[in-house]
Amino acid sequence: MASGSLQKPILIAGGGIGGLSTAIALARHGIATRILEARETFSEAGAGIQIGPNGTHVLKELGVADQLRPLAGSPSAINVMNAREGTRLTTLPLGNWIEERHGGPYWVLHRRDLHAALLKAATACEHIEITTRFEVRDVKDDGDGVHVGNAQGVQISGAGLIGADGIWSRIRQCVFDAPPLQPSGKLAARAVMPGQDIDTLFSGNKIGVWLSPNSHIVHYPVRGGRDIAVVLIVPDTGHQPNGAGFNANWNTPRGADQLLRRLGPVAPQLIDFLQIVPSWRSWTLYDPPVLSDWSKGRVTLLGDAAHPMLPFLAQGAVMALEDAVVIANLIAQEPANLPDAFHKFAAMRVKRTSRVQAESRRNGQIYHLGPLPAQARNLTMKVIPPRRLMHRYDWLYGWRERGDYERSS
Chain residues in the site for ligand FAD (CB under 6 A): 13-19, 36-39, 49-50, 135-136, 164-166, 170, 188, 231, 245-246, 303-305, 311, 314-318, 320
Nearest to 178 by CA among 301, 284, 285: 301
Q: Which is nearer to ligand FAD, 128 or 320 (CB)?
A: 320
Judge whether 300 and 164 are in contact, CB under 8 Å: no
Q: Which is nearer to ligand FAD, 227 or 304 (CB)?
A: 304
Strand partners, 189: 232, 282
| Cβ at position 50, least distance to ligand FAD in Å | 4
Q: Is 370 exposed, middle or buried (0-12, 13-18, 19+ CB in 10 A)?
A: exposed
Q: Which is nearer to ligand FAD, 20 or 378 (CB)?
A: 20
| Cβ at position 182, least distance to ligand FAD in Å | 16
Q: Which is nearer to ligand FAD, 56 or 378 (CB)?
A: 56
Q: Which is nearer to ligand FAD, 189 or 266 (CB)?
A: 189
| Cβ at position 30, least distance to ligand FAD in Å | 23
d(C-alpha 93, C-alpha 244), whole Å: 38
| Cβ at position 49, least distance to ligand FAD in Å | 4
Q: Which is nearer to ligand FAD, 219 or 344 (CB)?
A: 219
Q: How many CA atoms lie within 13 A of 338 on its CB side?
A: 26
Nearest to 8 by CA among 30, 25, 27, 31: 31
Dihedral angle sign, alpha carbons of residues 280, 46, 170, 298: negative
| Cβ at position 294, least distance to ligand FAD in Å | 12
| Cβ at position 220, least distance to ligand FAD in Å | 9
Q: Which is nearer to ligand FAD, 102 or 378 (CB)?
A: 102
Beta strands 10-13 and 33-36: pairing type? Answer: parallel
| Cβ at position 181, least distance to ligand FAD in Å | 13
| Cβ at position 250, least distance to ligand FAD in Å | 7
Alpha carbon 408 to its chain centroid, in Å, reads: 23
| Cβ at position 40, least distance to ligand FAD in Å | 10
| Cβ at position 106, least distance to ligand FAD in Å | 11
Q: Which is nearer to ligand FAD, 330 or 378 (CB)?
A: 330
Beta strands 87-93 and 77-82: pairing type? Answer: antiparallel
